[in-house]
Amino acid sequence: MSKTVVRKNESLEDALRRFKRTVSKTGTMQEVRKREFYEKPSVKRKKEIRSSKKTQILIEGTK
């Protein structure tokens, strides 16, 4: 869990901005969104295959 301590003479907006930055760097929100609903292993595999095909097409297109 990310923890942000508000510094002396620091506005709440600045502290919130620092907190958001640390959360985005650690990937916490992406993980929460990914785990919000259960995803069957077969669906996970299909998504991985689809994304790998997409990246393969992009790589071949740049050659």
Answer whether 4's CB lies under 8 Å from 22's CB: yes
pLDDT digits (tens, 9 = 90+) for 10-55: 999 999 999 999 999 999 999 999 999 999 999 999 999 999 999 9
Does residue 5 lie in a domain region? no
- Alpha-carbon dihedral angle through residues 30, 32, 36, 37, given to the nearest 10 degrees: 60
Angle, vertex CA 42, rays to CA 40 and CA 46, nearest 5: 120
The confidence score (pLDDT) of residue 58 equals 84
Residue 59 has pLDDT above 90, yes or no: no
Q: What one-character DSSP code corresponds to residue 8?
A: T
In a domain, 52, yes or no: yes
Q: Which domain holds residue 21?
A: 12-62
For residue 3, tell me if it sits in a domain. Answer: no
Better-scored residue on pLDDT, 63 or 2: 2
Can you tell me the distance from the alpha carbon of 6 to that of 14, in angstroms, rounded to the nearest whole number?
9
